Amino acid sequence: MEFKIRNIHSWMIFQKSKEMQIESEFLVPGVEDFIELKKGKKRVVINRAISPSLTHIAGAITENKIACNYLLQENNYPIPAFIFASEIGKIELLFLEKFAPIVVKPFDTNKGAEIHMNVQNTNELKEALNNVKKVSTQAILQQQATGLDYRFLVIDRQVTGVLWNEWPSVVGDGIHTIENLVQFENENRRITKTVVYEKPTEMLVEIPIEGLSDLLAKSNKRLSDILPKGEKIYLGNCGNGWTGSVAHDATDNVHPSINKKVIELINFLDIDIAGLDVRCDDITKPFKKAGFNVIEVNTRPSLVDHEFPLFGKSRNVTEKYLDYLFKD
């Protein structure tokens, strides 16, 4: 290839295609949004890991969080209570009173921008809503589910990989302050590379320092505190990679009844390839006892962290994706 590929997802698709003897090139030279794949007489154009079989209506419903959340809720799929808001009025205050702590997040953006967790009072709600409105036309106010954050990858209506996205954290050494530990962790993240098909790649973003003081205050801690040796403290409560979470493969830990419910939900939405973000108290338990809640459905899932998790077993999801695209 004479062009330089910047997007690691595109790079991985190109390299795996080469291994599988699938021709690959950018549909528009130098534009990484669309890749053209050819094998024999079949030609497929992809955008990230979106399915070419995805219908317009199914895609539009999942892109519209109001529609998707409503349909899931009305059909008894486990999704935390939610409302949509552009300002604070009686309904929003009643929702906060009933469901606090709540999450306040954008309606129409991604990459973890302006997700505000553990909102518990009116002042925090006002601040969160003002920040969300900088990046989104509306905010979603949602009851905050308990448990850990997971991403289920579905390809060809089968669960092919599950990640536990652990919140960013540091571990005390009894010497340095929390602020020092964050600085050390971020420096380590800057220099640590994962080799993806011979391409050294930064797989972790830095832990955002902005807002850490307020987050720590809820646990009666400060950035200037020295963390005791061996004590682990989380510096976020959102399992989004763009906010510093760490991917652990958890595919083998999931109870079969949970995978079955995930496939049922994806089939209900008429999607064949998806990333399902959930919160779950215990993925090893049967679905009805697991504390399972749907957070978001994504029809353009990333394959990278499933192939190259920071911890745990690599899953060959890119090959499964390409096999599916060219399945007879």
CA–CA distance, 190 with 184 (Å, rounded to integer): 10
Q: Please calculate the CA angle 122-126-129 and round it to the nearest 5 degrees.
A: 130
DSSP state of 311: B
pLDDT for res 209: 85
- 201 vs 8: CA distance, rounded Å: 8
33 — pLDDT class (breaks 50, 70, 90): confident
CA distance 215 to 212: 5
What pTM, to 2 d.p., does this model score? 0.91
In the prediction, which pLDDT does 107 show? 79
Query: pLDDT tens digits, residue range 61-95?
Result: 998 888 999 999 999 999 999 998 888 999 999 99
Specify the higher pLDDT residue, 230 or 117.
230
Segment (H or E) for 13: helix 8-19
Split at pLDDT 50, 70, 90, the class of 210 is: confident
Amino acid at 48: R
- 3-state SS, residue 194: strand
